[in-house]
Amino acid sequence: MSISTANISTGNISTEKSVTAGEGGPQPDSWDSSKNIVAPSVGGAWPRPEPLRTTAEERLYRKQHLAGAYRIFGQLGLGEGLPGHITARDPELPGHFWVNRFGIDFRRITVSNLLLVNDAGEIVEGTGPLNTAAFAIHSQIHAARPDVVAAAHTHALYGKALSAIGEPLYPISQDACAFFEDHVIFEDYNGVVLGTDEGRRIAEALGERKLAILANHGLLSVGTSVESAAYWFIAAERAAKAQLIASAAGKLRVLDDETARLTAGQVSSELGARWSFEALYQIIVEEQPDLLD
C-alpha cells in the first residue's frame, strides 16, 4: 500500500517521496487514504517503526509498560480499593500473563512486584497473593482473543456509574466515537467474578470488540498492546464521564451513525492509542522512575 507523504507524517519528511506501509512508513490502520482523511499530524514522526526485540526484551518492554499503566491509573484515581487489574500476555509462554500482586496499591506497582500467572491460575514467578477475580476474568479474555496482548479492568467511578444505568457510550463527541460499534454491555452481574465460567461468558460477550461495560460493575478494555488496552480504558472512563455530565445537563446530541462511523475510523486505531499512552508513559517514568525497579 503506497501512501503519498503530501498529507501524512512519515518521520523523515520529504514532501515528494512516497513510502510503503510496513516498510518503516506510517501504518495503514490509522487512516484510510482512499477517503482523503487528513493525517493526524504533519512534520513529525510516528513512533514507528518499532525496533525488533528479542523475546526477553519484549517481555521486559511489556512489564515496564504494564507497571507504568498501573502508575498512571493510580495517578488518575482509576483504582477503587483493592479491585482492579491490568494484564499483559507473556510473549513466550502460552497461556501465561503478568498481573499486579493483590494488595499493593496501583501507585506502588513496580516491574519487580508483578506476578507471572499460568493458565491454571498458579503463580509461576513473583510473590502472591493473586486476585482470584483477576485470573477468572483475564485468563478467559486472553484465551478467547489471541490478538489481545493486554486487558484492563477497574471499578473507576464514571465507568461504574454508567454501568449502573444500562446505557452504552453514545457517539456524542469525537472522542466517544472511538467506541462506536466497538463495545458491548455485559448485562449479567452475579456477584464477584470468582470462577472462570463467568470470565468465559464475559469474553464471549466482548467478542471482537475493544470494550465491555460490565453492568453494575465497571469497564473492561482490551488492546493489541499494553499501551492501547490502558489507553482505551482511560478514554472510555472519560467518555463515560462526559456522557454522564452532558446527560445531566441537557438532552444529548447523538451523532448520526454515518458520521459516527466515519469518525470512529479516524480516532479508533490501535496505533493512535499506543501513541497517546506513550505520551503519558514518558511523563510517569520521568516522575516515578522507581516503577522500573
Beta-sheet strand order (sheet of 85-89): 123-125, 115-117, 97-99, 85-89, 150-154, 218-223, 211-214, 183-186
Tell me whether residue 63 or residue 85 sits nearer to Zn ion (CB atom). Answer: 85
d(CA 52, CA 46): 16
- Say which amino acid occupies 135: F
Residues 154-213 that bind Zn ion (CB under 5 A): none
Nearer to Zn ion, 123 or 215 (CB): 215
How would you classify the pairing of strands 211-214 and 115-117? unpaired
Q: Where are the alpha helices (DSSP H) in the chain?
A: 55-75, 132-144, 157-163, 196-206, 226-249, 257-267, 270-287
CB of 220 to Zn ion, least distance (A): 8
Smallest separation (angstroms) from Zn ion to the CB of 133: 6
- When the beta carbons of 158 and 180 are compared against Zn ion, the nearer one is 158
Q: How far is the CB of 217 from Zn ion (least distance, A)?
A: 5
Closest residue to Zn ion: CB criterion: 83
Q: Which is nearer to Zn ion, 79 or 265 (CB)?
A: 79
Applying CB under 5 A, the site for Zn ion has a residue count of 1
Residue 149 or residue 220: which is nearer to Zn ion going by CB? 220
Phi-psi region of 192 (alpha: psi -120 to 50; beta: other; left: phi over 0): beta
Q: How far apart are CA 152 and CA 230, in angstroms?
A: 6
Q: Cα–Cα distance between 211 and 127 in angstroms, integer?
A: 30
Question: To the nearest whole angstrom, how small is the minimum distance from the Cβ of residue 137 to Zn ion?
Answer: 7
- Region 72-131 residues binding Zn ion, contact defined as CB under 5 A: 83
Site string for Zn ion, 23-62 (x = CB under 5 A): ----------------------------------------
3-state secondary structure of 28: helix
Give me the least distance between CB of 69 and Zn ion, in Å please.
16
Closer residue to Zn ion, CB minimum distance, 11 or 83 = 83
Which is nearer to Zn ion, 83 or 168 (by Cβ)?
83
Closer by beta carbon to Zn ion, 172 or else 236 = 236
- The terminus-to-terminus CA distance of the chain in angstroms comes to 42
What residues between 220 and 249 interact with Zn ion by CB under 5 A? none
Smallest distance, Zn ion to C-beta of residue 153, A: 6
Distance in angstroms (rounded) separating the CA atoms of residues 152 and 226: 9
DSSP designation for 254: P
Least distance CB 83 / Zn ion (angstroms)? 5
**Least Å from the CB of residue 270 to Zn ion:** 24
56 is written with which cell numbers?
A: 526477553
Other beta carbons within 10 Å of 60 = 15
Report the half-sphere exposure of 3 (CA within 13 A, side-chain side).
27
Rounded to whole angstroms, the Cα distance separating 270 from 150 reads 12
Q: Where do the H-state alpha helices sit in 196-225?
A: 196-206
Contact residues toward Zn ion (CB under 5 A) are: 83
